[in-house]
């Protein structure tokens, strides 16, 4: 649960490449709509009735596993790390997280710093709490809040996290292009070593109220410690890799490259001192994580660590462990190729004559497949059919009344018949009489993903659609993205992929007109309008914003150019000697500090 | 002898150049690049382009190759895209881990396999020979990863005798670190050795059987040399010849690492680094590693020829 970090991932069912960013924060205390058959109901909190044991807290070590098949990369600085495992193993250090949030990821007072938006002046004021210090004893100052923007936006920066959204900050574009040495939009009322930063924006967005938005970076970086290291060399420096300093409840005692980190309380921590005196995090192969938990080697897995559905099946009845989880900030989805990316205009352009341009064809394909059956068989209770493109963890924004595309072969056939896709022999033809062959692109994954793709094909065949695997088989991950990321391609007509969303759900970066990740190139006036409305002036009103999100979800389901296929839990096992385990979003910043142990040995 | 070595080294130069071109082109020929699928959707298209330009990915291949070679001669293998660290540091860290494990496994393998081979050859056709042969074939037949998983499960998880993950305990310090490191390679090393003896045992056995029937052994026997001495001085030494050459070559394999062992024991080594670099299209790491493996192989064949020349004067080339 990395607070400030937001992870955007592109993944297939099993191959998950975690990509980047700020805060895949916690989740939600409430579980998602519960009418899905066979679905587990997990809570984000483990309420341990036992009393904490003082001597266990002081002498015993909290052992945490990071389930991962590769060594972690070792980049401790959130602005430069672009994978989830790095943020997981450095989490007890607090990752420089600035803000506390409520359960809807809305920024509230009480974190390392508070944020105030001034809509008249278009400024964001960040005030650091007075007693905030880095683990080397130096105070956290205004410059530390600004420095991440320099690391991300520097002309020579190697960070992949820069986006044009940051250019709403006055002077950021010039700084990024190397035309200015500083970002003029940052001012320090009490000086660089003060506690206050004012950021001047061209305009504010309602999304700025939420952690993980794309305008305000939500971590601090120790400027006094990084000073003097060129930004392009920062990721390779000892300050980032070998001896990082932190602002959270724990400080790093030892780092073993790629395999483990160990921690002890940070005496300069601004909040209440953590109770447990020793914490270790070890990388454990996902092949043996189940055995490691079953033999009580670890207290829990990192809250944002990737745990497979098969593990849930193996561990759910394990004595002395409680399964804890919340709906994940991610979903699998289908995308239809309906256009191209115009590299000159830097915009997606829809082609009304493309093979998949017909809405009825797209809808029919979605009604023809049975996600409920697939998830019942392979979901292990922690995966279920998605209803909309907003994951249910955003219970304020996700449209819980939406039905999505439940299996309905009759409806699929009718839609195709009505739209003129007539059957000639075994297969349907295009309305103009030409043969119709549809290419389905998907990534290699587990045995179950292979079976899932087979099931899709068979069901599409049953409604008379001649769908084939693009390239004859599932693709290797790089080939897959290499194919669909081409500005114009005709090898894949429909594809299956996945996104992890930020803790602020605005979907513009994924489905917007100029989004390079709108890989199916769906564009419409209404789509653009609805997404703009989500963050327009009126959207400062929460209920208006909520309505627009709902309207957008309805519209996207109707258009069916992108359709979410399934949602799942982000979950993990917790040993019953652990007390205070709570991964709800409002508790993210306090997660490590509030843990304690009820016995010296694992139960 | 020296001339031969020098000549061999000179021949290696064009071989390495050719290898470097091939390695470079093949790495670039893979679909995708280090930024495929791994860019944050918030990056604007311009930023993606910017990062690719910054890394020279749009330059023509010969220019990219030339830059790479020039840096290589300056001892700079480049920066890993995935790890954001100098490739030489990265390889250095992993190579130490891999070296520990493979050297330990190799020594153990020889310690187990040589006496077994000798014993089997000595008792050719008898029960001990059969038992040893069955052992080698059975261990040869079981896929190694199965052994690793079962071994880890029984000795690591069920019996709790060995550590199950990593190369060293997270909190070990000072001398304790050394013993912790050794403790961590014990189980994978033992499994590797116990289940990797087949080649050496079979070599040794057949060499011993050959030597047993040779004229010099018959002569020694007829002169009344005790059987113990015949085995120690005549048979064992002569049988070691091919093994010595083989050993010279396997030294070069020490750096290759084992993907299975490293994945199952979460032991960060060269094997996993190589596979990950391919999956992530981490060009700088791929090319550096393949080149390193290639050079090690060339050196390995040279080394094994030299060893053979030293231990067997009959084939020494002057």
Q: Among A39-43, A155-159, A277-281, whose mean pLDDT is lowest?
A: A155-159
Average predicted confidence (pLDDT) for chain A: 90
Which B residues 260-279 touch A at CB under 8 Å?
263-268, 272, 276, 279
Query: At A573, is the secondary structure helix, strand, or coil?
Result: strand
Side-chain-side CA neighbours of residue A575 (13 Å) = 26
Return the higher-pLDDT residue of A514 and A465.
Answer: A465
Q: Do A514 and B85 touch (CB under 8 A)?
A: no
Residue A410 has pLDDT above 70, yes or no: yes
Which pLDDT band holds residue A17 (cuts at 50, 70, 90)? very low
- Closest approach of B21 to chain A, Cα-based (Å): 23
Q: Give the per-residue pLDDT at A531.
A: 95
Q: What residues of A are in contact with residue B47 (Cβ under 8 Å)?
A: 160, 162-164
Which residues in chain B come in under a pLDDT of 50?
none
| The pLDDT of residue A18 | 29
A374-388, A460-474, B254-268: segment of lowest average pLDDT: B254-268
Is some CB atom of chain A closer than 8 A to the CB atom of B3? Answer: no
- Reduced to 3 states, what is the DSSP secondary structure of residue A301? strand
Q: Which long-range contacts (CB under 8 A, 24 or more apart) does A110-119 make?
A: A111/A589, A112/A140, A112/A220, A112/A247, A112/A270, A112/A589, A113/A145, A113/A220, A115/A216, A117/A204, A117/A208, A117/A209, A119/A204, A119/A540
Q: Residue A5 has what pLDDT?
A: 32
Determine the distance in angstroms separating the CA of A61 from the nearest CA of chain B, rounded to an integer. Answer: 10
pLDDT level of residue A209 (50, 70, 90 thresholds): very high
CB within 8 Å: B36 and A478: yes
Q: What domains sit in chain B, N to C, each tagged with a CATH number? A: 87-280 (1.10.3720.10)
Chain A residues near residue B266 by CB distance under 8 angstroms: 71, 259, 282-285, 288
pLDDT at A396 over 80: yes
Task: Check residues B20 and A261 and name the one with the higher pLDDT.
Answer: A261
pLDDT value at position B156? 92
3-class DSSP assignment, residue B312: coil
Report CA dihedral (B26, B28, B31, B33) to the nearest 10 degrees.
150
Residues of chain B contacting residue A291, judged by C-beta atoms under 8 Å apart: 152-153, 157
Q: Is the dihedral of CA A58, A63, A66, A70 positive or negative?
A: positive
Residues of A in contact with B272 (CB under 8 A): 70-71
Say if the Cβ atoms of B51 and A160 lie within 8 Å: yes
| Beta-bridge partners for A128 | A113
Q: How confident is the model at residue A15 (pLDDT cuts 50, 70, 90)?
A: very low
Task: Summarize the confidence of residues A435-440 as an average pLDDT.
Answer: 96
Give, to the nearest 10 degrees, the angle between helix B283-311 and helix B237-252. 160
pLDDT beyond 60 at A26: no
**Range of lowest pLDDT (A16-25, A31-40, A104-113, B56-65):** A16-25
- Residue A16's pLDDT band, with cuts at 50, 70 and 90, is very low
- CB of A254 within 8 Å of any CB in chain B? yes
Q: Is the pLDDT of residue A392 over 80?
A: yes
The more confidently predicted of residues A10 and A405 is: A405
Supply the pLDDT for residue A174: 95
Mutation site for A-interface testing, chosen from B45, B84, B86 by largest number of A Cβ within 10 Å: B84
Q: Which of A490, A549, A476 is nearest to A521 (CA)?
A: A490
| Confidence grade of residue A53 (pLDDT, cut at 50, 70, 90) | very high
- Whether B89 sits inside 8 A of A236 (CB atoms) is yes
Q: Tell me, what's the pLDDT at A35?
A: 44
CB B170 to CB A256 under 8 A? yes
In B, minimum Cα distance to A498 occurs at B37
The pLDDT, as a whole number, for residue B43 is 63
Q: Indicate yes or no: CB of A477 within 8 angstroms of CB of B43.
A: no
With contacts defined as CB-CB under 8 Å, which chain A residues touch B41?
8, 499, 509-510, 515-517
| Entry field: residues in chain A | 603
Q: What is the pLDDT of residue A478?
A: 84
Task: Give the H or E element holding residue A454.
Answer: helix A447-462
Residue from A561, A570, A564, A576 nearest A588 by CA: A570
Is residue A445 within 8 Å of residue A308, measured between CB atoms?
A: no
Quote the minimal CA–CA distance from A424 to chain B in Å: 38
So what's the pLDDT on residue A566? Answer: 94
Torsion angle, alpha carbons of A439, A527, A406, A365, to 10: -20
Query: ipTM score here?
Result: 0.83
Point out the residue among B39, B54, B85 whose CB comes nearest to the CB of A236: B85
- Cβ pair B157:A17 closer than 8 A: no
Q: What is the pLDDT of residue A31?
A: 39
| pLDDT at residue A160 is higher than 50 | yes
Q: For A69, name the nearest residue in chain B, comparing CA atoms only.
A: B263
Looking up tokens 């191209």 gives A340
Q: Residues of A with CB below 8 A from B267's CB? A: 259
Q: Which of A63, A257, A483, A518 to mutate to test the interface with B (most CBs of B within 10 A)?
A: A257
pLDDT at A19 over 50: no
- The answer, yes or no, to whether residue A449 has pLDDT greater than 80, is yes
Q: pTM (2 decimals)? A: 0.87
């Amino acid at each position: 649960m990395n607070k400030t970090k937001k992870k955007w991932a592109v993944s297939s069912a099993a191959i998950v490449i975690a990509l980047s960013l700020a805060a895949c924060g916690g989740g939600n205390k409430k579980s998602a709509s519960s009418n899905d058959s066979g679905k587990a109901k997990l809570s984000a909190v483990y309420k341990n009735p036992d009393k904490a044991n003082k001597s266990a807290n002081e002498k015993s070590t909290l052992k945490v596993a990071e389930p991962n098949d590769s060594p972690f990369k070792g980049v401790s600085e959130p602005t430069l790390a672009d994978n989830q495992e790095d943020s997981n193993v450095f989490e007890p250090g607090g990752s420089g997280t600035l803000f506390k949030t409520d359960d809807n990821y809305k920024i509230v007072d009480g974190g390392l710093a508070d944020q105030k938006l001034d809509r008249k002046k278009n400024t964001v004021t960040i005030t650091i709490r007075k007693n905030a210090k880095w683990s080397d004893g130096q105070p956290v100052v205004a410059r530390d809040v600004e420095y991440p923007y320099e690391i991300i936006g520097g002309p020579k920066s190697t960070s992949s996290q820069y986006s044009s959204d940051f250019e709403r900050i006055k002077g950021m574009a010039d700084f990024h292009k190397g035309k200015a040495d500083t970002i003029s939009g940052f001012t320090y009322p009490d000086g660089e070593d003060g506690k206050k930063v004012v950021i001047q924006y061209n305009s504010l967005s309602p999304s700025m109220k939420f952690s993980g938005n794309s305008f305000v970076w939500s971590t601090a970086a120790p400027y006094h410690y990084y000073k003097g290291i060129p930004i392009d060399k920062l990721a390779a420096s000892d300050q980032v890799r070998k001896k990082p300093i932190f602002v959270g409840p724990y400080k790093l005692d030892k780092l073993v490259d790629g395999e483990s980190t160990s921690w002890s309380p940070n005496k300069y921590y601004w909040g209440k001192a953590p109770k447990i005196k020793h914490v270790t995090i070890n990388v454990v192969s996902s092949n043996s994580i189940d055995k490691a938990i079953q033999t009580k080697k670890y207290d829990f897995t990192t809250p944002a660590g990737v745990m497979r559905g098969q593990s849930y099946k193996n561990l759910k009845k394990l004595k002395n462990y409680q399964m804890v989880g919340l709906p994940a900030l991610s979903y699998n989805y289908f995308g239809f190729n309906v256009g191209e990316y115009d590299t000159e205009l830097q915009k997606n352009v829809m082609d009304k004559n493309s093979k998949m341009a017909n809405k009825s064809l797209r809808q029919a394909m979605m009604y023809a497949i049975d996600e409920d059956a697939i998830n019942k068989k392979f979901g292990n209770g922690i995966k279920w059919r998605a209803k909309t493109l907003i994951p249910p963890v955003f219970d304020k924004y996700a449209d819980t009344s939406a039905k999505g595309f439940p299996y309905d072969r009759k409806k699929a056939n009718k839609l195709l018949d009505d739209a003129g896709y007539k059957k000639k022999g075994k297969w349907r033809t295009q309305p103009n009489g030409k043969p119709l062959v549809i290419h389905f692109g998907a990534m290699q994954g587990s045995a179950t993903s292979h079976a899932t793709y087979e099931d899709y094909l068979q069901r599409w065949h049953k409604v008379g659609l001649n769908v084939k695997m693009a390239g004859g088989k599932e693709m290797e991950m790089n080939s897959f993205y290499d194919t669909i990321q081409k500005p114009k391609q005709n090898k894949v007509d429909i594809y299956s992929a996945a996104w992890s969303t930020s803790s602020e759900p605005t979907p513009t970066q994924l489905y917007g007109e100029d989004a390079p990740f709108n890989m199916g190139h769906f564009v419409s006036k209404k789509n653009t309008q609805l997404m703009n409305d989500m963050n327009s002036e009126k959207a400062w009103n929460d209920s208006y914003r909520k309505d627009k999100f709902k309207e957008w979800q309805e519209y996207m389901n109707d258009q069916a150019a992108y359709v979410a296929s399934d949602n799942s839990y982000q979950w993990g096992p917790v040993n019953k000697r652990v007390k205070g385990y709570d991964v709800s979003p409002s508790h993210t910043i306090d997660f490590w500090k509030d843990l304690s142990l009820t016995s010296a040995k694992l139960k | 002898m020296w001339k031969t070595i020098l000549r061999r080294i000179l021949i290696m130069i064009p071989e390495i150049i050719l290898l470097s071109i091939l390695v470079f082109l093949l790495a670039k020929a893979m679909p995708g690049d280090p930024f495929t699928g791994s860019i944050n959707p918030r990056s604007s298209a311009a930023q993606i382009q910017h990062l690719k330009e910054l890394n020279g990915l749009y330059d023509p291949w010969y220019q990219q190759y030339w830059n790479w070679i020039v840096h290589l001669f300056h001892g700079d293998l480049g920066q890993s895209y995935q790890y954001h660290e100098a490739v030489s540091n990265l390889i250095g860290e992993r190579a130490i881990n891999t070296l520990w494990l493979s050297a330990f496994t190799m020594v153990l393998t020889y310690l187990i396999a040589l006496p077994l081979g000798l014993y089997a050859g000595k008792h050719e056709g008898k029960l001990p020979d059969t038992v040893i042969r069955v052992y080698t074939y059975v261990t040869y037949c079981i896929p190694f990863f199965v052994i690793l998983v079962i071994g880890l499960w029984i000795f690591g998880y069920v019996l709790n005798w060995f550590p199950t993950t990593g190369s060293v305990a997270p909190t070990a310090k000072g001398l304790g670190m050394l013993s912790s490191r050794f403790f961590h390679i014990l189980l994978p090393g033992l499994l590797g050795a116990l289940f990797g003896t087949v080649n050496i045992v079979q070599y040794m056995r057949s060499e011993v059987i050959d030597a047993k029937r040779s004229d010099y052994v018959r002569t020694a026997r007829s002169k009344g040399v005790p059987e113990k001495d015949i085995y120690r001085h005549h048979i064992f030494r002569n049988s070691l010849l091919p093994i010595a050459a083989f050993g010279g070559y396997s030294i070069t394999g020490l750096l290759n690492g084992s993907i299975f062992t490293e994945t199952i024991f979460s032991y960060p080594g060269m094997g996993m680094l190589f596979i990950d670099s391919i999956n992530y299209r981490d060009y700088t790491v791929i090319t550096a590693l393949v080149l390193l493996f290639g050079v090690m192989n060339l050196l390995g064949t040279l080394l094994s020829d030299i060893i053979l020349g030293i231990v067997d004067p009959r084939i020494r080339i002057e």
